[in-house]
Amino acid sequence: MTVSAELDSESWFHRNQQRIAPWLFLAPGLLFFLFYVIIPVFQSFNLSLYEWDGLGAAEYVGFRNYEDLYWEFSDRDAFYISLKNNLIWLLLYLAAIPAGLFIALFLNQTVKGIRLYKSLFFFPFVISQVVVGLVFTWFYDPTFGLLNEFLGLFGMGPLNVLGDERFVTYGIIFAGLWPQTAYCMILYLTGLNAVDPEQIEAGRLDGAKGFRMLWHIILPQLRPATFIAFVVTIIGALRSFDLISIMTQGGPFGSSRVLAYYMFEVALSEYGFRMGYGAAIAVILFLIMLCFIAYFLWSMYREERRH
Amino acid sequence: MFPKPIEKQPRAAQITYQAMLPLALLLWLGPLLAVALFSVKPEADFTNANYWGMPSSFEGAFNYGQVFFNSDMPRYLLNSFFITVPTVIGAVALSCMTGFALGIYKFKSNLWIFFMFVAGNFVPFQILMVPVRDLTLELGLYNTKTGLVLFHIAFQTGFCTLFMRNFIRALPFELIEAARVEGISEWRIFWYVVLPLMKPAIAALSVLIFTFIWNDYFWAVVLTQGAESQPVTAGITSFNAQFRAAYQLMSAGSIVAALPPVAMFFLMQKHFIAGLTLGAVK
Amino acid sequence: MHSMFKRTAMALVASVALTAPVAAELTGELRIFLDTSNPAPRATMEAMIERFQQQHPDLEIETTVIDREAYKTQIRNFLTADTPDVANWYAANRMKPYVDAGLFEDVSDLWAEAEISDNLGSTKGALTIDGKQWGVPYTYYQWGVYYRKDIFDELGLSEPTTWKEELANCQKIIDSGRTCYTIGTKFLWTAGGWFDYLNMRTNGFDFHQQLANGEISWEDDRVKQTFANWKQLIDMGAFIDNHQTYSWQEALPFMVKGDAAAYLMGNFAVAPLREAGLSDDQLDFYQFVAINPDVELAEDAPTDTFHIPANALNKEAARAFLRFVVSADEQTEINNGSNLGQLPVNAQSSVDADKFLQQGFNMLSSNSPGGIAQFWDRDAPAEMAKVSMEGFQEFMVKPDNADKILAKLERARTRIYDQ
């Protein structure tokens, strides 16, 4: 009796194995991901409707946090500055893509020792952003920074990049471009490796050279690399937190804030006790990111359909 | 090959190129070399404003000795190690399974689940910050390496699943078909047929995740405090506070903090680049 | 028989209770969190805890020292989870969020004990919220102007006492190719110190506290007068350039090298200045000058404190530790010149013979009739402190933006105190 039941259940499992198996394989990863990533997104949406100092009880305030954000925006206060800086980050960070392509073209040779050169050029990407931030803080230092030594050679400067609200964001972005360019470079180096030599020959026969060749023949073949470079650069730009935290803490007088840093500042920093408000900022940042996420997913979806 | 191989160019161009390579590299790594120079200088050089000249004496041993024997740095390094390695193992293990499930089986919600992983991977950290911190507090894991590891595993599963699933998709499906015909159970197919083929992907992903997690700063700040659990990225700010304005020590500390992922990169370069550029080529 | 046993037992209990402060064997674990991450205070605290340990050998004491800046954000985490039994912090409004949230233990019982109530009266106000006390002080220190006496002598200057003298002195220093003051405002609070003094000297202690409590508009003419006074110094070039990129420690070398003549700071600046090579012949102290003769002098003297988190597990040992910290002998010891180099909170303790501590002690006890403030970021609520200090920093870089900055602070005030 029991034996036959066991046989039955086993054969049921056996019969449905292909239906059940994927869920068993998915379960641990999916559960983890749901608990730590997906559900918290919704919790943050909910929290943004509350006022909460992170210590006592939370109080429901409806959309007041968003209203406050609106006023901050129209008064050109911290939220406005963060949003504006985020935009600058998004635009200028994209410079990593052509810069990476340029270095990749420069290094795409087969001379002796080129492998080591490629590795050393890639090197900044492996270093933590914290260290990159420290390195560039010293690079910009108004008393002894390498930058001012360099400017001094041309009789210029001294420039206090991180202390001047006009330059500070650009200075930090420049620091961020260093590892990001290295990343894009390695993507393009790999891409260039796989460029079809026959097409290049065909192009040469047609008289294409230099920039025309690059634009009409090489770049179209580098599309996958460009797409990935675009994705990681956008994500990197919107995630800019480490560098700002290390280099300026949002200063001087709050002029280098971005949403990611401002959110942390109001919610968890020394003088910040506004969890709900922070959540509202995070929601805005999320919605901006969502535009890009939707675009990426849509591209991936088209790709999937083609296969 | 594009651009045109330099060997086929005139001799002058070849020499110019060879000369430009080291120059460009010097310029590119300039800020970092400066820090390396700082880290072997004696303190006196900084008080005497000898920032960029030759070190008046070579104090590398002393400065690095201070970092290793007179600060919490070794502890931070060890913490980083105990956070990074379990995360790599956990995230790779979970994503081998999720990647297998999404890459091999055809079921209705397959693509949706896959997209959920991908989208989650792109989410800004800040929207997770408060809830994840609360969750960690509730689990009693705040300020523990375990708390940090659990979150990292969960979050990295998104990226790893994307990676693994695409890798498995490219494997020859006939192998699995053949195994099924022979009546081999799904678990055994995963273990004996697919997993061995995934070795390169596992290697690539491990090196990548190692670097990502080692370099994480944000979550270290949000979920840990103090030397008993903080990784080196967060520890270095405490270290710098301890030696504020002692540039030679802060430089040495930074170099030490940056070293492990750099070593990892140079040792596993092939896998690293393979992982990073997956999808960059058709 | 029965009652006799009872009586003996009670006597026994009573005798144990009487000797309790000395003989009670504290057991279990005592976890202490500290923010004293700089080398000297760290060593002082560790030595003090070691002495406490010797008195209570069965107690398992675990000390965690967290970076001073990081501590300020982490305190809210460890008060709710992974809670220590003792943690240090700051007095006045700075502890209010945690008191309001019920995360600090009410220690009014300690303050009722004769040993404490008789000797710690002067700081009681700073530890009191809603009529209860929420911790004990362990040190306080004066603020004021630390200056290079050798430079003053070289230029024939004497310690100023009025605003006019101050400006005249400063002009001479500038004419000699130096700046009057070094300062590093990267972490903002140093600018808060300047605001404290300028505003307290221009408008008095009570006005200053009302402003901190949100009762006065930032666009009030009296506030504008404070900023106008400040602007005089900024416009003449009294402060070092690029101060917004330096921490307070990074601003020290300017004074050490003689590029700047003075530093408005807390007494904790003395130790690193001495360490950097300035002798006591080169270094001296004076009280911030009077500006408006109609207001009484008032000083900043921040009090650092110890608290018991409400979630602490070993509150008995924690209370014993707090008693130990404020005891006259410990106060003398930890605050002496070779340790914290600050002022003891216990009236029975002796102040170190160090010239800065003596001057500070005399100033605070006899020449600060207006009152004693904690410090801007401890007197004002956290959010207002943050916004306003950012404004002060901006003002120090761009003094012409004063009206714009004050308007922004006023907007912040209406929002922050309204809630």
Per-residue pLDDT, C55 = 93
| pLDDT < 50: residue spans in chain A | 1-5
Above 90 in pLDDT, residue C260? yes
Domain C25-141+302-349 belongs to what topology? D-Maltodextrin-Binding Protein; domain 2 (3.40.190)
pLDDT tier at B45, thresholds 50, 70, 90: confident
C332 at interface of B, judged by CB pairs closer than 8 A = no
B140 at interface of C, judged by CB pairs closer than 8 A = yes
Nearest-10 crossing angle of helices C189-203, C382-397: 90
Residues A33 and A84 in one domain: no
DSSP 8-state code for residue C162: B
d(C-alpha A299, C-alpha C353), whole Å: 75
Give the full edge-to-edge strand order of the sheet including C86-90.
C60-65, C29-34, C86-90, C303-307, C136-140
Q: Annotate C252-283 with DSSP letters as a single string.
A: HHHHHTTSEEEEEEEGGGHHHHHHTT--TTTE
Amino acid at B156: Q
From chain A, the residues in CB contact with C93 under 8 A are none
Above 70 in pLDDT, residue C19? no
Matching fold, domains C25-141+302-349 and C143-299+374-416: yes
For residue A275, what are the contacts with CB-CB under 8 A and spacing of at least 6?
A47, A50, A52, A53, A54, A58, A267, B130
Per-residue pLDDT, C169 = 96
Q: Which of the residues B132, B221, B238 would you substitute to probe the C interface, choosing the one with the greatest number of C C-beta atoms within 10 Å?
A: B238
Give tens-digit pLDDT for C353-390.
Answer: 899 999 999 999 889 899 899 999 999 988 899 999 99
Residues A147 and A212 in one domain: yes
Residues A73 and A221 in one domain: yes
With a CB-CB cutoff of 8 Å, which residues 152-191 of chain A face chain B?
Answer: 178, 183, 186-188, 190-191
Which ipTM did the prediction report? Answer: 0.91
From chain C, the residues in CB contact with B226 under 8 A are 33, 64, 66, 74
Residues A135 and A242 in one domain: yes
Above 50 in pLDDT, residue C20? no
Above 50 in pLDDT, residue C3? no
Q: Do C78 and B245 touch (CB under 8 A)?
A: no
Which residue, C84, C201, C185, C190, is CA-closest to C397? C185
Residues A85 and A198 in one domain: yes
Per-residue pLDDT, B146 = 96
Residues A97 and A147 in one domain: yes
Per-residue pLDDT, A1 = 41
SS3 label, residue C285: strand
d(C-alpha B13, C-alpha A150), whole Å: 28
If you average pLDDT over residues C194-211, what whole number do you get?
96
Residues A84 and A212 in one domain: yes
Above 90 in pLDDT, residue B275? no
Per-residue pLDDT, A56 = 80
State pTM to two decimals: 0.89
Residue A52 belongs to a domain: no
Residue A56 belongs to a domain: no
What share of chain B in percent tops pLDDT 90?
A: 57
Could you tell me which CATH number the domain at C143-299+374-416 has?
3.40.190.10
Q: Phi and psi for B219 in degrees, rounded to 5?
A: -70, -30
If you average pLDDT over residues C259-267, what whole number do you get?
95
Residue A143 belongs to a domain: yes
Q: Do A273 and C101 touch (CB under 8 A)?
A: no
The CATH number of the domain where A94 resides is what?
1.10.3720.10
Give tens-digit pLDDT for B225-254.
Answer: 778 889 999 888 878 877 767 888 989 999
Q: Annotate A87-117 with DSSP letters as a single string.
A: HHHHHHHTTHHHHHHHHHHHH-S--TTHHHH
A163 at interface of C, judged by CB pairs closer than 8 A = yes
Per-residue pLDDT, B57 = 86
B19 at interface of C, judged by CB pairs closer than 8 A = no
User: Could you state, in order of their start, the residue ranges of all structural domains in chain C?
Assistant: 25-141+302-349, 143-299+374-416
Above 60 in pLDDT, residue B97? yes
What share of chain C in percent tops pLDDT 70?
A: 94
Residues A219 and A300 in one domain: yes
Residues A13 and A88 in one domain: no
Residue A55 belongs to a domain: no
d(C-alpha A215, C-alpha A198), whole Å: 16
With a CB-CB cutoff of 8 Å, which residues 55-94 of chain A face chain B?
Answer: none
Tokens of C34: 């500290």
Residues A32 and A94 in one domain: no
Residue C413 falls in which region: left (phi positive, over 0), alpha (psi -120 to 50) or beta: alpha
Residue A59 belongs to a domain: no
Domain B73-276 belongs to what topology? MetI-like fold (1.10.3720)
From chain B, the residues in CB contact with C64 under 8 A are 226-228
Give tens-digit pLDDT for C35-92.
Answer: 987 778 889 999 999 999 999 999 999 998 887 777 887 888 788 877 999 999 999 8
From chain A, the residues in CB contact with C377 under 8 A are 271
User: Could you state, in order of their start, the residue ranges of all structural domains in chain B?
Assistant: 73-276
Q: Which of the residues C245, C250, C404, C408 would you substitute to probe the A interface, choosing the one with the greatest number of A C-beta atoms within 10 Å?
A: C245
If you average pLDDT over residues B186-202, what whole number do you get?
92
Per-residue pLDDT, A106 = 94
Residues A21 and A93 in one domain: no
A47 at interface of B, judged by CB pairs closer than 8 A = yes
Say whether the peptide bond before residue C39 is cis (omega within 30 degrees of 0).
no
d(C-alpha B112, C-alpha C373), whole Å: 60
Above 80 in pLDDT, residue B40? yes
If you average pLDDT over residues B139-155, what whole number do you get?
93
If you average pLDDT over residues C127-144, what whole number do you get?
94
Which residue, B85, B84, B76, B34, is CA-closest to B236? B76
Supply the range of the domain harboring residue A40.
2-47
